[in-house]
A and B are shown apart, each in its own frame.
Chain A
Amino acid sequence: MSIMVSIPAGVLANQQTASTVASNLSNVISQTSASINQTATQIDCSLAPSFSGFGFGSGSGGSGSGPSFVFGGGSASGRSGFTPGQFGGGTVTGQFGGGAFNGGQSSPMNESLYTDINSTISGVAVVEPILQASEGQNVTTTLSFNGYTRDITRLDVEYTIEGIPLTASLVDNYPILPTNITAGSNLQAGDSGVVLLSENNSAYFGAGVGDAITILNQTFTVAGIYSPSSVSDTQTLYMNLSDAQAITNNTGYITSLTVFAQNSDVVSQVATSISSVHPELTVTTDQDRLNQLQTLQSTYNTELANAQASDSQTYSTAVEEIIVVVAATSLIVLFVMLYTVRERTKEIGTLKAIGFSNLTVMGQFMLEGILLSMIAGVVGIVIGSIAAPTLSALLLPSVGIGSRSATGAVIVSGTTRISGLSVATLSPELILLAFGAAILLGTLGSLYPAWRAAKIRPAEAMKYE
């Protein structure tokens, strides 16, 4: 019976996971919409294809293990609010399920080839060359779902370096650095040998303001720590472009350019000019980004709809399960209590002979039945909280759909880890619900046996076997 009680607990736990997924996705969607309005005059240029969206990605390239260093591409995370290129495309051989990004890896580009943008293209206010690189471990995992198995090798990013030119004209006038400094100070124009860490970086390096940290054999001093404003730059640390180029052995090379137009009216004209002068570049404007983010948003909306569908599917499965379990548990209580009443006929007869009313006897046995199911409930909750994930995965394949979305949610909420398939936990509400169900079951199952007890003739007390 305890096991039985634990089943709906497991189902409900998964249902809750699914609804958490839904709410996480909603958050990301609103964040995305907000970031659409933030960018104004920004144009991103890189050699990489831009963000390619959800689904099964295919890529080629390295596999294996050991530290790996990958150039990330895409737009600068601090400003756009979203960096598709978190996972180095070169190491990704396949992505499973919704939510992992087959992000564009940027090829390093020769910085000197693009100095003309500033001088020859009209309408340009300033150019910000960027070098972005990530360090992490190549991790190969095997995921299975509905009978399919797939090996995924991906870069488990530990931190991402973003090198930007710390010139006064850029630092003082353009939003190229994070603004929410929680400790120490922001990078200043002319800084070198110092870094600005995210809170996650700070934890990863175990370093605070003023501490020295070593990145690729070079020592840096932590100038400050920022709190990420968007979900995507939780692992990005900032340093001077020349420092970044030096430590990654890429002097003279960058991974992308951000061009700021003089005003929003000339943005598309500037973008067209850049494209015509440098056809090899992928040029992304505010408008493009808007479209991109809208695509992203609609992808999220689809994903959200899926999550909600699986949510409600899981929910209806849970409801069905609960009905079955309520019935089954009531039956078990019924039979146990009927047996008890039969075994204790003489005792019940005695109680009635010494003056207990039918009602009192009935109440006594109701209470016993409820107590019985409450004990079962407690045991069920304990077993349920230990075994719910396993149980639900084993017993309820539909839960897997919710869990797949859960995986997506884990990624979109900014963690770089693709978590395991199912993370079912029991919340206090669920425990209360299970307990309430147990009491209900007890009451239902005890009703008839208690009535039978009340009907026992008091003369049974006199029987001698």
Chain B
Amino acid sequence: MSKPVLQIEKLSKSYSLGKRNVPALSNLSLTVNAGEFVAIMGPSGSGKTTLLNVIGCLDKPTSGQVLLDGIDVSKLPENQLYKIRRDKMGFVFQTFNLLPYLNARENVELPMEGRIKSKSERKKRASELLAMVGLSGREGHRPQRLSAGEQQRVAIARALANNPAIVLADEPTGNLDSQNKQEIIKLLANLNITQGTTIIMVTHDGQAAHHTERMLLLKDGKIINEKQGTHLMKKNHTCPHCGSSIQMSDDTCPTCKKPIYSSDEPFSA
């Protein structure tokens, strides 16, 4: 039904620390289809960030192949990679990474600068994106005048600026309180359904992971387990417990009254 947007074959990545070789990813293979919402979990140091960096062309693999939209990016030089990052990738960071001296709209405009010549067109699109993440009317606000949750919304709008093939989010809820965590995860899930955005999200938070459709467990640079998330069911409008029909906005099943998302750790040992 969907075509693969990301194909990773036998990917290895190691860092050299002085004379020591630190393996971060070893012989990892993964395929992600367009429109998927994937969670990557795993203990600290298991290679989650490294994997996102390699997928996002922020770092080069030591060996193996990474195909993005059919393009092998593992061999591309830097003067081509920046265009891949700009045109095919959207990044959401744990620390938001907005530019403090630019307002919300200008931050969202940044990735468009190299692509869209017309300033007014960029402005228009940035405003639309801010509206999409629920921040209309806040265009002129600088990051310091926005709450953490709002800053992450701006960052998500910025990630969507160039209609990326994949949005990569490294612990996007890691710096948020539980209320904002919920809102951001729902925003991402909603974007995945309404816009068809492919999202790969690294998270420590089991509850957040349940909101995706595929949960991967990384350990020592390898994917050692995979489970289905609840999001897939929700996408199909079926309750994970009783199979009856549910709405997107439902948190509990109208038929069996059970909470739709489990609060269990998906990969408890």
Q: Known: A360-B114, A459-B53. Is A350-B97 also a contact (CB below 8 A)?
A: yes
Interface size in chain A (residues, C-beta < 8 A):
18
Contacts of A350 in B (CB 8 A): 91, 93, 97, 99
A462 in complex: contacting residue of B58, B78, B87, CB < 8 Å? B58
A358 at the B interface (CB under 8 A): yes
Q: Are B59 and A457 in contact (CB under 8 A)?
A: yes
Q: Which residues of B contact A357 (CB under 8 A)?
A: 79, 82, 114
A353–B110 CB distance below 8 A:
no
* A461 partner residues in chain B, CB cutoff 8 A: 58, 91, 93, 97
The answer to whether B94 has its CB under 8 Å from any CB of chain A is yes
Interchain CA distance A457-B59 in the complex, whole Å: 8
In the assembled complex, B26 has its CB within 8 A of some CB on chain A: no
Q: Across the interface, do A462 and B85 meet the contact criterion of CB distance under 8 Å?
A: no
CA–CA, A351 and B99, complex, Å: 9
Contact B91 A459 (CB under 8 A): no
Contact of B86 with A by CB under 8 A: yes
Taken together as a complex, chains A and B put the C-alpha atoms of A385 and B247 apart, in Å, by 74
B170 in the interface, Cβ–Cβ < 8 Å?
yes
Considering only residues 413-465 of chain A, those with a C-beta below 8 Å from chain B are: 457-459, 461-462, 464
B35: A residues at CB distance < 8 A: none
Q: Is B56 an interface residue (CB 8 A)?
A: yes
Within B2-57, which residues are at the interface with A (CB < 8 Å)?
49, 52-53, 56-57
A residues near B198, Cβ cutoff 8 Å: none
Tally of chain B residues near chain A (CB < 8 A)? 30
Tell me the smallest distance from the CB of A460 to a CB of chain B, in Å: 9
Interface centre among A350, A351, A457, A461 (most CB of B within 10 A): A350
Could you tell me the distance in whole angstroms from the C-beta of B157 to the nearest C-beta in chain A? 12
A464 CA to B170 CA in the complex, in Å? 10
Is B86 a contact partner of A354 (Cβ separation < 8 A)?
yes
Q: Decide yes or no whether B83 CB sits under 8 A from chain A.
A: yes
Most-contacted residue by chain B among A346, A458, A462 (CB, 10 A): A462
Please tell me if the beta carbons of A353 and B91 are within 8 angstroms of each other in the complex: yes
A-B contact count (CB 8 A): 67
Enumerate chain B residues within 8 angstroms of A351, measured Cβ to Cβ. 99, 110
**Are B82 and A358 touching (Cβ within 8 A)?**
yes
Flag if A462 contacts B162 (CB, 8 Å): no
- Cα–Cα, bound, A346→B95 (Å): 10
Question: Secondary structure of the A side of the interface?
Answer: helix
- B122 close to chain A: CB less than 8 A: no
Q: Contact check, B82 vs A464: say whether CB atoms are below 8 A apart.
A: no
Chain A residues, CB < 8 A from B59 = 457, 459
Contacts of A459 in B (CB 8 A): 53, 58-59
- Within 8 Å of chain B (Cβ to Cβ): is A352? yes
Q: Which of A355, A358, A457, A462 contacts B93 (CB 8 A)?
A: A462
> Is B158 part of the contact surface with A, judged by Cβ < 8 Å?
yes
Q: Which residues of A contact B95 (CB under 8 A)?
A: 346, 464
Chain B residue at smallest Cβ distance from A354: B111
CA distance A457 to B57 in the complex (A): 11
Task: Report chain A residues within 8 Å CB of B52.
Answer: 462
Which residue of A346, A347, A358, A457 is within 8 Å of B58 (Cβ)?
A: A457
How far, in Å, is B152 (CB) from chain A's closest CB?
A: 14
CB contact list, B50-91 vs A, under 8 A: 52-53, 56-59, 78-79, 82-83, 85-87, 89, 91
**When each residue 207-241 of chain B gets 1 if its CB lies under 8 Å from chain A and 0 otherwise, what string results?**
00000000000000000000000000000000000
Q: Can you sample 10 A-B contacts with CB below 8 Å?
A: A346-B95, A350-B97, A352-B58, A353-B56, A354-B86, A354-B110, A357-B82, A357-B114, A459-B53, A462-B52
